[in-house]
Structure 1
Amino acid sequence: MSLKTSINLRKLEYSPTINPLVEPQQVTTKRRYVRSGRSEELINTATGEVVGVAAIHQIEEKDDAEFVKVFAAGAAAAYELGKTAHRVFQVILEEYQRTPMSKGYADHVNLFWFGNGIEGRDVGMSEKTFQRGLKELLEKKFLSPKGPTAFWTNPALFFKGDRVLFIKEYRRRVTSVEQQNRDELEKHRLSEVTQ
């Protein structure tokens, strides 16, 4: 259903026995495509329990420059990068996009600094600032040294695809009583399995 659909509250189609919203829904807004539904595909690996999850999935199109910025911002937020590391990550992503692919992917990026930036291109920061951000990216496993000016890239964080999916899951905090009950159930389940 789009936002432009006019709903007449006096002429609603009722569904007294079946909830039509149980099935996944989708809505197109001005700039996004939004889907919602329940997913029961997540499995707790410790218990084997299938966990149902309510999901809201948005799809938004971006041009190349916006895509790199959104991706960098999402990864920076997820990994809690500092402001400098976030800026450096965006510079490195832009350089990675220029890196030629071999066998369908690029597994490293060259970061040769001279003049005012990478390969002489001004990146809007000093070499010291760049190095400070680079250190944080190395600490948080975005990159790994390959050589003096070459770095292996984490394939989950560097890619040349045309889509990215950020998943942020919220869980209710478990009280200590609930955790004790879960622990006891798990102990009981394990003892039954070993017998």
Structure 2
Amino acid sequence: MTKVLVLYYSSYGHIETMALAVADGVRAAGASVTIRRVPELVPERVAARSGYKVDQAAPVAAIDELADHDAIIIGTPTRFGNMASQMKNFLDQTGGLWFADRLVGKVGSVFTSTGSQHGGQETTIQSTQTVLFHLGMIVVGLPYSFKGQMRMDEITGCSPYGASTLADDGKGGHRDPSENELTGARFQGRHVAEIACALAAGRAARGA
């Protein structure tokens, strides 16, 4: 069975919620899914004082786990138009996998969240995709066959680069991912899994 890893970092739970939706999409495609989060770098007392969601169920990932999967879907919040330092720190440790070409040919994809409508969703996804390209992965986005990304009747995340959500309600309060954003996350999970399954079937047919 094709194996997909959903690897995420989430400070306040928005990306965690999106990661669970992505995983639902993976399962809908008939693939197996593993959900992991990267280690927190913020001191525990600081995280607690800042209201971080510290009770996340997903186990912390190990670097070598990445090579055990056919596809990796990364979720990270935006930090000034780029991935969070926790995710970057984790990916910076994949040098051994890169040197041995262990991620070459695997499918990679990215989803994100921002605090505002123009907070860097697309640049965060694209800059994270750059890392995937360097690792030799086949990068997949969120195609326009997901029509929800073209909605004009409500504020929503999602773009052709990947699913996304807005974490702020515009008044300084917390905003949960909308149903449209979660639908985009599920679509992306299924899309990535279907491509990974097709690639795996092709390799099997060639006896690779």
Q: What's the TM-score once normalised by structure 2's chain length?
A: 0.25
Q: What's the TM-score once normalised by structure 1's chain length?
A: 0.26
Between Structure 1 and Structure 2, which shows a larger proportion of strand residues? 1
Query: Which has the larger Rg?
Result: 1
Q: Larger relative contact order (C-alpha < 8 A, sep ≥ 6)?
A: 2
